[in-house]
Amino acid sequence: MKKYIFHIDANSAYLSWQAVYDLQHGNAIDLRNISAAIGGDKSKRKGIILAKSLKAKQAGVKTGQPLFEALKVCPELTIVSPNYQLYMKCSDEMTAIIQTFSKKVERFSVDECFMELSCENPIVIAYQIKEYIHKTLGFTVNIGISTNKLLAKMGSELEKPDKIHTMFKEEIMEKMWPLPVNELFMVGRATYKKLTKYGINTIGQLANSDIDFLNQIMKSHGRLIWHYANGLDSSPVKKDNRKIKGIGNSTTTPFDVDDIRYASLFILSLTEMVAIRLRANNMMCHVVHVSYHRASKGGGQGRQRKLITPTDQTNTIYQTALELFKEIWDEGPVRHFGVRVTMLNTANIYQRSIFDEKNLEKKRRLNQNIDLLRVKYGSQTIKRASFIASGINNVNGGVHDNYPMMTSLL
């Protein structure tokens, strides 16, 4: 199978992540559908625009624009102050999902990753990733596919949002060369001014320029961008060695839940996905956390518990999460559930304890085999009897029968 490089880029990341978070916590307005932006303090009219919605962009709002200028061109602009803790959590969750498709993933920035994968059909894999992220986390991504990092990134920058583009060497002349030269990676404002001064206005003109001339006027940077304009890049995808701090999953229910049976089914369906991702990353957890948000009066509660020994078992995580929920639930209607595990360590160095349940290894192998069957044949292949006729998905938070969950498990 041929090796491909994918570049996965969250669309309007800060704004999308804030919009999803607000919707999950009872906000009726989707920031992505109105003139909205992330950045600064509207009351003081200070700061700059970090991300914007499509409507704000159409009104003339630009990323990096001072807040007071953005409000001049779009007086109705809704400004939301940045929440960097939320953004890092969303970035971690997106990266964790991508890592279930390949073990070679490089986080390039807070909202974009490179992934290397050998496969037969990269476009099919790209659609699986895109739909999986959208279904699980609620926001869209663009994905570029090529045989090197530079071209994959240039591909993902084409038409947005929620698109997949290829940018192979034979497509450079058609797709990349007609673009303005400032759309090439590593061509900033100063470089752009210098290039246009010499009549180099498109990427194609840069690619066909004399490399010695570019070296003369811009030194090594001139040689670098000439190589990029010609689609040449040999930089490897560097595996992201940053430790995953936690794996979580949440869902907003389609109806108010005021019955413990339905509450337990939603918690179980979320736990299924959390445990699958835990095992896919070859990890165990020490801490289980459950949370809920009320349907009408707002607010919610959460509670966590440290386990005696770490686990990757669905039943253990679920039983703990359900116990915690029963401890904090006020029996009022619930519209949002969340399950999260933290304090992770690799399953390879797990040390058995006298507190471990019997037949643990058999149960671990059983769960792993169930994961493989669900990946290969869909999430409905094996389901617990309690979900039959319940109307609730047996695995909640991203599993879709048409999109296998974790191809790296196969």
Rounded CA separation 187/197 (Å) = 14
Rounded CA separation 187/209 (Å) = 15
- The pLDDT tens digits for 120-172 are 999 999 999 999 999 889 999 999 999 999 999 999 999 999 999 999 999 99
Rounded CA separation 360/313 (Å) = 9
pLDDT band at 189 (very low <50, low <70, confident <90, very high): confident
pLDDT band at 27 (very low <50, low <70, confident <90, very high): confident
What pLDDT is recorded for position 216? 94
pLDDT exceeds cutoff 60 at 176: yes
Q: What angle is formed at CA 174 by the lines to CA 172 and CA 179, rounded to 5 degrees?
A: 80
Is 168 in contact with 146 (CB distance < 8 Å)? yes
Query: How is residue 6 annotated by DSSP?
Result: E
Tell me: cis bond preceding 161? Omega within 30 of 0 counts: yes
> Which residue do the tokens 């948000």 mark?
293
pLDDT exceeds cutoff 70 at 33: yes
Domain ranges in the chain with CATH number 1.10.150.20: 177-229
Q: In the CATH scheme, what is the homologous superfamily, with its name and number, of domain 1-168? A: Reverse transcriptase/Diguanylate cyclase domain (3.30.70.270)
Is 122 in contact with 256 (CB distance < 8 Å)? no
Least confident of 16-25, 160-169, 318-327: 16-25
Phi and psi at 288, nearest 5°, equal -115, 135
Rounded CA separation 25/294 (Å) = 9
pLDDT band at 6 (very low <50, low <70, confident <90, very high): very high
Least confident of 42-46, 314-318, 355-359: 355-359
Number of neighbours of residue 342 by Cβ within 10 angstroms: 16
What pLDDT is recorded for position 63? 86
Rounded CA separation 309/306 (Å) = 9
Q: Is 43 helix (H, G, I), strand (E, B) or coil?
A: coil
For the question of whether the overall pTM of this predicted structure is more than 0.75, the answer is no
- The more confident residue out of 399 and 271 is 271
- Identify which of 140, 114, 144, 111 has the alpha carbon closest to the alpha carbon of residue 126: 144
- Identify which of 81, 41, 78, 88 has the alpha carbon closest to the alpha carbon of residue 56: 78
Domain ranges in the chain with CATH number 3.30.70.270: 1-168
- The pLDDT tens digits for 348-382 are 545 444 444 556 677 777 887 887 776 566 667 78
What pLDDT is recorded for position 398? 40
List Cα–Cα distances, 389 to 72, 218, 393, in angstroms: 55, 68, 10
Let me know if 331 is a catalytic residue.
Answer: no
Burial label, 192 (beta-carbon count in 10 A; 0-12, 13-18, 19+): middle
For residues 258-278, give the mean pLDDT. Answer: 91
- Identify which of 36, 138, 34 has the alpha carbon closest to the alpha carbon of residue 81: 36
> Which residue do the tokens 């953005």 mark?
70
Report, in angstroms and rounded to the nearest whole number, the Rg of the chain calculated over CA atoms. Answer: 24
Domain ranges in the chain with CATH number 3.30.1490.100: 246-409
Q: What angle is formed at CA 368 by the lines to CA 306 and CA 291, rounded to 5 degrees?
A: 35
Q: Name the CATH architecture for the domain at 177-229.
A: Orthogonal Bundle (1.10)
Rounded CA separation 301/331 (Å) = 12
What pLDDT is recorded for position 381? 72
- The pLDDT tens digits for 199-219 are 999 999 999 999 999 999 999
3-state helix, strand, coil in the chain (%, to 5): 40, 25, 35
Instruction: Give me the catalytic one of 69, 93, 106, 112.
Output: 112
What pLDDT is recorded for position 357? 54
Q: What is the mean pLDDT of the chain?
A: 86
- The more confident residue out of 136 and 194 is 194
Residue type, 245: K
pLDDT band at 246 (very low <50, low <70, confident <90, very high): confident
Q: In the CATH scheme, what is the homologous superfamily, with its name and number, of domain 246-409? A: DNA polymerase, Y-family, little finger domain (3.30.1490.100)
